[in-house]
Amino acid sequence: MTHFLDIHKTSPEDLRGMIDAARAMKDARNGRPRGALDDEQPLAGRMVALIFEKPSTRTRVSFDVGVRQMGGQTMVLSGSDMQLGHGETIADTARVLSRYVDLIMIRTFEEETLLEMAEYASVPVINGLTNRTHPCQIMADILTYEEHRGPIAGKKVVWSGDGNNVCASFLHAAGQFGFDMTFTGPKPLDPEAEWMDFARSKGVKAEIERDPFKAVEGADLVVTDTWVSMHDPESAKERRHNQLRGYQVNKDLMAHAKPDALFMHCLPAHRNDEVTSEIMDGPNSVIFDEAENRLHAQKAVMRWCLGV
């Protein structure tokens, strides 16, 4: 079964194929109405279940639109609809859904939920996000970087802030796409050592530098994310702000990167917390291209999963 569970579980050749396919599909839609169907209809007659235990804007809209553009249909299910793991087991839910649909995308909290869904489903499963990783976002980020600056291999990416699930998938991508990555942030929020080791095992540099100004020297891309994730308790907000205030992406920090360094943020952003509006709206920011590219990258992921 061809699942898309994490970047480090997918071969570099397949990942490259998805990025190239995403770019081709995006180019083919240039100048067409957003609601228009693609010339190819690879998902015609297919039903895709979109499961959301976590709330979502970009993931829900981009997957839903992507399926429809390719001629398929979606069934959107919330956590309250499903009651995953409460009453009916995840395994039984996976078995039942597989009798109705051709593909399952799940956005959930625990990685174990994703893995159990994939183990027992007889149709492909896509990781729309877990607390541990966010591979679809990073596929969009790679597509975005290469649209603006060419191949990402050999470039330097700097992550500033919390070593969260998006950072984890960036480290996976560093190993699979061949770029170097530096994390800068407070020690309690370091990315998992397992992910740093994975990138290093592929022959790229994966480093930690506490000084953010030193970290971004020579950076081709600077990335950050919210300081307080949607699953974090409100009590964590003040503590996170105190920990991360020195890692805000602002004009002074970006001045230490390469003059043409891009800025990315997966959104939603808390303006003037993790990044200033000046940077978000500045000439080096590609955040809205990045948001759009979730659509194109995920269409390529779905086609790869289904072999169409």
* pLDDT tens-digit series, residues 30-52: 999 988 999 999 999 999 999 99
pLDDT at residue 168, as a whole number: 98
Three-state SS for 157? strand
pLDDT at residue 143, as a whole number: 98
Share of the chain above pLDDT 90, in %: 90
Per-residue pLDDT at 234 exceeds 80: no
Per-residue pLDDT at 8 exceeds 80: yes
CA-closest candidate to residue 256, choices 222, 225, 285: 222
The mean pLDDT of 106-121, rounded to a whole number, is 97
Catalytic positions, please? 107, 134, 137, 225, 266, 294
Surface-to-core class of residue 109, CB atoms within 10 Å of its CB (0-12 exposed, 13-18 middle, 19+ buried): middle
CA-closest candidate to residue 267, choices 286, 243, 241: 286
Structure tokens at 302: 């779905």
Total-model pTM? 0.96
What pLDDT digit, counting tens, does each position of 81-111 carry? 777 767 789 999 999 999 999 999 999 999 9
DSSP result, 60-97: HHHHHHHHHHTT-EEEEEEHHHH-TTSSS-HHHHHHHH
Three-state SS for 99? coil
Angle at which helices 12-28 and 165-177 cross, to 10°: 100
Residue 44 DSSP symbol:
T
Average pLDDT, the chain: 96
Residue 246 DSSP symbol:
G
Q: Which of 63-72, 73-82, 126-135, 192-201 is the least confident region?
A: 73-82
